[in-house]
Amino acid sequence: MKSPNSRPSTAGCNPFVHEPKLTVAQTIQIGLMTVTVFPVRLLLVFLLMLLGWPFAYAASLARSDYVIEPQSWWMRFIDLSLRLIMRALWFCGGFHWIRVKGERAAASKVPIFTVAPHSTYFDAIPITMTMCSILTKLESRSIPVWGTLISYIRPIFVFRSDQDSRRRTVEEIKRRARSGGEWPQIMIFPEGTCTNRSGLILFKAGAFIPGLPVQPVVLRYTNKLDTVSWTWQGPGAFKILWLTLCQPHNAMEIEYLPIYSPSPEEKESPALFANNVRKIMAKALELPLVDLSFDDREISLSQGPLRILDCSSLLHFHQLVCRLGLRAERSGAVLEDQARRARKLQRETLREDEFAEFLELPLTHTLTQVHSLFDQRGDGQIDVRLHVVALSTVHRPLRSMETLRLAFKMYEDEENGHVLREDLAAIFEIMLGVRHVDLSGLFLSLDGSDATKITYDELHRFIEQNPSFVQDHLDFENHPRGRPKTSCNGHSKDD
């Protein structure tokens, strides 16, 4: 597959991976604080959460989720009490002082705050300091104690089991944002997931669809040892809590940037609005822009003997197929059907219009871009089987052997199940995200085998016996053999 010039490789800067490395001194410090300070802090944090629960519960009684009631003296008292309790909770957790820069805009001027980077559950600190509403999954409401505290700030609950949830969420954001300050301001983390703060990933458009002014808010955790980042690959929730409570002090800074008012073009294009705000926030944070999104996380975290070595081309392909509306094709049945139809074509190549017909989609600029990724000879013709392999790779990157089996179904000889050497090389180029695969090393290691073809069972058995066979038995352009190099999934390619 052709590598796009517009989408840089993410190798070495995976935002979804965080593996803290402790020095000897830090290990000794955490060991001592684990048996002294940690239990005391943990107990105080738990007691303060329990203390805040009755206030939040009392406020939620007979209160509507859709109508704002007049602010009585009793509700003002509860609000102040909860703010003080939550500030005491964070203090006991080691956040002794929190530096706030800039000026928070009034609700009448700005209904939405866009907060980034989102890296940890400690990002709740600015929420409890302001009592702004948030977006959160419906399941959060049922968390003991904490769920009641979340409900107090009138969040917008996301119904993940409801296929119409995205539209409902956007409509609720619009309704509240256009209330003229009647509803509490909304704090939205537009990245949509936690990262390690090495860069700003792509923003989701939800906060920007209303087309109203937003105030960007940037968060900084400035301890030398990062104990707070809670990513898809790294320490779990309790380990993060333990490591953080074992720090003498946890430094945090919240900065309110100037209000950003969208231009007419940005009002018409939420994606443009989101990207321009992201650039401003990245500049304030002195962080790079990372062209990854929440939907790309599994691709960048692929594991196993056939894990993706260079994500750039596959991430670009994934972005394009999502624009085509093919995201739903995570279904194995749909992939099997495409593989069956592709096999019938054998080695017949397809023009753009024939490719559109194969996918049962109109011929658009995006579809033309997808087609061009597989036009290796530059003659406007592609082998659609490579498209199916790529689609399977990006939709189930953690199950690479299933993709390999699917590829063999399309390429294998009907009589003996063999796949030709040059076809297997093309399959590996797609699955690994590399170029110019040479299988000489693999076939030399297969004693007594035909050096021109191989069956799935032979290859599967060899891979099981050689977990590092890609590094040890394949050759390709920019192969890292002999010099450790970080791959897009955060691991050394030689481990």
Percent of the chain clearing pLDDT 70 (strictly above): 91
Q: Residue 428's pLDDT is what?
A: 93
- Phi/psi at 28 (5° precision): -65, -45
Tell me: the pLDDT tens digits for 226-249?
999 999 999 999 999 999 999 999
Strand pairing class (186-188; 156-158): unpaired
When pLDDT is averaged across residues 276-297 and rounded to a whole number, the result is 92
pLDDT grade for 160, boundaries at 50, 70 and 90: low
Q: Residue 142's pLDDT is what?
A: 81
**Residue among 289, 297, 285, 378 nearest 17 (CA):** 297
Look up tokens 């690994």; give the residue. Answer: 432
**Residue among 230, 42, 31 nearest 123 (CA):** 230
Q: Worst-scoring range by mean pLDDT, 61-75, 122-136, 297-311?
A: 61-75
pLDDT grade for 296, boundaries at 50, 70 and 90: confident
Q: Residue 484's pLDDT is what?
A: 40
Question: What letter does residue 193 receive in the DSSP assignment?
Answer: S
When pLDDT is averaged across residues 331-352 and rounded to a whole number, the result is 87
Structure tokens at 335: 């992939």
Q: How far is CA 11 from CA 47, 196, 291, 407, 481, in A?
A: 44, 15, 12, 26, 16
When pLDDT is averaged across residues 314-328 and rounded to a whole number, the result is 82
Q: How far is CA 104 from CA 28, 101, 255, in A?
A: 41, 9, 9
Q: Residue 448's pLDDT is what?
A: 60
Q: Is the dihedral of CA 245, 250, 256, 257 positive or negative?
A: negative
The C-alpha atoms of residue 220 and residue 99 are separated, in whole angstroms, by: 10
Tell me: the pLDDT tens digits for 6-56?
444 444 468 999 999 999 999 999 999 999 999 999 999 999 999 999 999
Q: Residue 5's pLDDT is what?
A: 52
On the question of pLDDT at 61 being above 50, the answer is yes
Q: Residue 108's pLDDT is what?
A: 87
Tell me: the pLDDT tens digits for 405-434?
999 999 998 888 899 999 999 999 999 988
The alpha helices in 35-145, defined as continuous H runs, are 37-60, 73-92, 124-130
Q: Residue 126's pLDDT is what?
A: 96
Q: Residue 329's pLDDT is what?
A: 47
| Rounded CA Rg of the chain | 26
Q: Worst-scoring range by mean pLDDT, 262-266, 352-356, 371-375, 470-474?
A: 470-474
On the question of pLDDT at 114 being above 90, the answer is yes
Q: Residue 330's pLDDT is what?
A: 55
pLDDT grade for 292, boundaries at 50, 70 and 90: confident
Tell me: the pLDDT tens digits for 170-205?
888 888 888 888 889 999 999 989 999 999 999 999
On the question of pLDDT at 321 being above 60, the answer is yes
Q: Residue 485's pLDDT is what?
A: 42
Tell me: the pLDDT tens digits for 461-492?
899 888 888 888 888 887 765 444 445 555 54
Helix (H, G, I), strand (E, B) or coil at 114: strand
Q: Residue 31's pLDDT is what?
A: 96
On the question of pLDDT at 309 being above 70, the answer is yes
- Report the chain's mean pLDDT, rounded to a whole number: 87
Residue type, 84: L
Sheet of 98-101: strand order equals 98-101, 252-256, 214-221, 112-116, 186-188, 133-137, 156-158
Q: Residue 11's pLDDT is what?
A: 42
- Phi/psi at 229 (5° precision): -65, 125
Q: Residue 277's pLDDT is what?
A: 97
**Residue among 461, 481, 459, 482 nearest 471 (CA):** 481
